[in-house]
Structure 1
């Protein structure tokens, strides 16, 4: 694909790293403040379990033009989203090709989401090769710089390995235990999200299950483990694995789709609803893939939307976009006090 960056020169300017202004009181961050892991849940400043719901960007090397002030205004105020996942691919024409450019791009989007009172997941989108250790030095550099700029914010979570695959859980934990101290150097109490084996399936896609994580957790505190599913491909075995895992370890679904595992094809809204009901019941946070106008059915916007200026409402959305927006817009149940 052609590298396109559509946010203008200002988007690529290095951010100052200064603390952001206090979020509006009625925004997700204004209500919940700094989140942390308590037991198996993500909890707000009052120590109450909460569920965050929102969207993931597509790779910013291809679809930064879909992440604008206008689109984020719509996400925050029309969709009523709590959280944005900012996906920085490492290979595939991403970070590896120009570290400064993609660090600055991710940093600016963090600031844009922060200004709207949303939480942000900084996603180190390693994919191929599947061993996160291949990019260990790059990850150390990226997270050192990103935590310098944003470690003082109250709304940033750190996803350190998108979808490990073809690699042992021991190698994933070894990687995590090298990267987490880098993050802790500038954000001592930030929540870190650790990708699980077999494309963040808790090992299911490579013949295992959640027991490998439950029995050999990463040696760090204030962390959660990630799970990804695509409802048309990943049926009850995956759903039940997530359910069992969430009773034992802190889980966050940082990526899911209503289509097949490639984000393509027909939507399976019935299976998707089973997942959403489970995640609501167990207060498992989620971000849907993806906030772009890619040609695939999993991109929420109709093709060509990101060249225009209309973002709110349903006229610009594909079928999956309408469905996901409806489920994000349902009222949050944020307990306080």
Structure 2
């Protein structure tokens, strides 16, 4: 979705890595003592009941029903929450305090755990980043939140390049979290410069890997043109509608950045949601680089549409990166907060937090 973009996760990385802690996290192969991830969850942890009243306690195992995501009672649900930044850079923003705030103060339903493949991520140290993802999955589980396991492939944009890595990662994650009912698997973050037929072929090879271990979890499939349903490549949702992935219990992902992606994108999302199951696994109120001024008016149009059609959404991103799309002001994570309230939030952070806390605030037009 970013054809003219130096990606916000990397464009000015040096500026984001302003502290010794961040420099340690950004190394290609972290030493054993660098934020040692927790061990894989035990069977008791994996099957423990979620805290009463939390999203998972209320809704249980999710399943795609028609064009919607439904809870264990068959009722459509709209998950809303936050995405982490790349865990190779900003794992220090995901602490007990920040995740307590996300679940309790922000009232988020879902945490998207973004494991980059390249850019100093998974391929440099598969065990480390798998363990880190498992640790974060467990922390979200302990708080009764859903988790989107984001395989954050981006450059190269052809998911087939990372097919073997993906097989290993999803096998390991699914095995480590057997018994959990709160996981959704996002198998390709933003395919780009690649055809829908090739993305579809990738999905039809990876989905059976997950289903071989976890038969029930919904799987989220990236779409062409940086998960724009093809709009950024001059196409639209019709190619997915005409040639869907041969699998059940799946949804297709859509990403937008409100200051860049206008009516053509909004219309494609609206049309697609009436034909295929769609989940907005990443969006920002800024431009397509995740920076610049916030367009809250257009963002509100998107949120109104998603509320009306029960399209789940996840905002980018839960970190203190210097760009306007990161919700916390720089230095918040190194200082370990404050995490609750709005004192540490940028304008986008305060806006997103407010809308997460007030789910009934959206008029249906």
> Which of the five TM-score ranges fits, normalised by the shorter chain?
over 0.9
Equivalent in the alignment of 1:191: 218
Give a deviation string over 1:77-131, Cα, whole Å, max 9, x none.
0000000000000000000100000000001000000000000000000000000
Instruction: For 1:99 and 1:183, locate their aligned partners in 2 and report how far apart those are by CA, in whole Å.
Output: 18
Alignment pair present for 1:16 and 2:16? no
Alignment pair present for 1:173 and 2:200? yes
Shift in Å, 1:189: 1.1
Equivalent in the alignment of 1:152: 179
Shift in Å, 1:20: 3.6
Instruction: For 1:17 and 1:163, locate their aligned partners in 2 and report how far apart those are by CA, in whole Å.
Output: 32
Among 153, 157, 162, the residue aligned to 1:135: 162
Shift in Å, 1:46: 0.4
Q: How does 1:8-47 map to 2 (within 5 A)?
A: 11-18=36-43, 19-47=46-74
Shift in Å, 1:161: 0.1
Q: TM-score, normalised by structure 1?
A: 0.96
Among 20, 25, 29, the residue aligned to 1:4: 25
Instruction: For 1:145 and 1:241, locate their aligned partners in 2 and report how far apart those are by CA, in whole Å.
Output: 35
Alignment pair present for 1:312 and 2:349? no
Unaligned runs of 5+ in 2: 1-12, 14-22
Instruction: For 2:164 and 2:320, locate their aligned partners in 1 and report how far apart those are by CA, in whole Å.
Output: 32
Instruction: For 1:23 and 1:160, locate their aligned partners in 2 and report how far apart those are by CA, in whole Å.
Output: 25
Give a deviation string over 1:146-186, Cα, whole Å, max 9, x none.
00011320100000000000000000000000000000011
Shift in Å, 1:22: 0.3
Instruction: For 2:237 and 2:286, locate their aligned partners in 1 and report how far apart those are by CA, in whole Å.
Output: 23
Q: TM-score, normalised by structure 2?
A: 0.89
Alignment pair present for 1:115 and 2:153? no
Shift in Å, 1:25: 2.1
Equivalent in the alignment of 2:77: 50
Among 340, 347, 352, the residue aligned to 1:324: 352
Misfit runs of 4+, over 6 Å: none
Counterpart of 1:254 in 2: which secondary structure?
strand
Unaligned runs of 5+ in 1: none
Instruction: For 2:355 and 2:92, locate their aligned partners in 1 and report how far apart those are by CA, in whole Å.
Output: 25
Residue pair 2:134, 2:173 contacting (<8 A) in 1 also: yes
Equivalent in the alignment of 1:297: 324
Counterpart of 1:305 in 2: which secondary structure?
coil
